[in-house]
Amino acid sequence: MNVYNRFSLCTFVLLMCSVATSHAQQTATALHQRANAAMCSNCHGTEGKTVDGSAVPSINGMPKDYMVLQMKAFKDGTRPATVMHQLTKGLTDAQIESIASYYASNKR
């Protein structure tokens, strides 16, 4: 194996390692996002699907922009609530975006 080939093999291995690392990071981020979003499912059902006849609405498949607007309206008090105004005040805007993205990506 000449020097060039050795170099290119090293580059290839490093590149693959970096692809694997970035892949692992993405997988971890997706896992954390899903687990964080599951904090809603105590009331809104697993994967955002409530039981039949529930007054608490399902949130799976809800359009992201709509959900973000509603969560922020609860948070700033413009949408009245019994409990959601208190819970959304515990979330950052980034957490709200992440949760809304997760449920928007779920099929109804």
Partner 1 sequence: MKRRNFVQASLALGSMGSLASMVACSTTGRIPEKARVVVVGGGYGGATTAKYVRMLSNYQIDVVLIEPDSVFVSCPMSNLVIGGSKNMADITTPYDNLSGKHGVNVVRDYVSGIDATKKTVTLASGPSIRYDKLVLSPGIELMFNSIEGLKQASASGQILQAWKAGPETSNLRKQLVDMPDGGVFAISIPEAPYRCPPGPYERASQVAHYFKQNKPKSKVLILDANQDVTSKGTLFKKFWADNYKGILEYIPQHNVTAVDAKTNTLKFEVQNDIKANILNVLPTMRAGTIAVQSGLANANGRWCGVNYQTFESTQAKDVHVIGDSILPAPAMPKSGHMANSHGKVVAAAIVAQLSDLAVNPEPFLTNTCYSFVNDKYVVHVASVHQYDSKDKTYKTVPGSGGLSAAPSELEAIYAWNWAQNIWNDTLS
3-class secondary-structure state, position 77: coil
Least distance between partner 1 and beta carbon 49 (Å) = 9
What 8-state DSSP symbol labels residue 46? G
Comparison of 68 and 88: residue with beta carbon closer to partner 1: 88
Calculate the dihedral angle through the C-alpha atoms of 105, 32, 25, 65, rounding to the nearest 10 degrees: 30
Least distance between partner 1 and beta carbon 1 (Å) = 27
Comparison of 1 and 55: residue with beta carbon closer to partner 1: 55
Residues that bind partner 1 (CB under 8 A): 23-28, 30-32, 34-36, 38-46, 50-51, 54-56, 82-83, 86-87, 89-91, 95
C-alpha to C-alpha distances, 76 to 38, 79, 87, nearest whole angstrom = 23, 8, 12
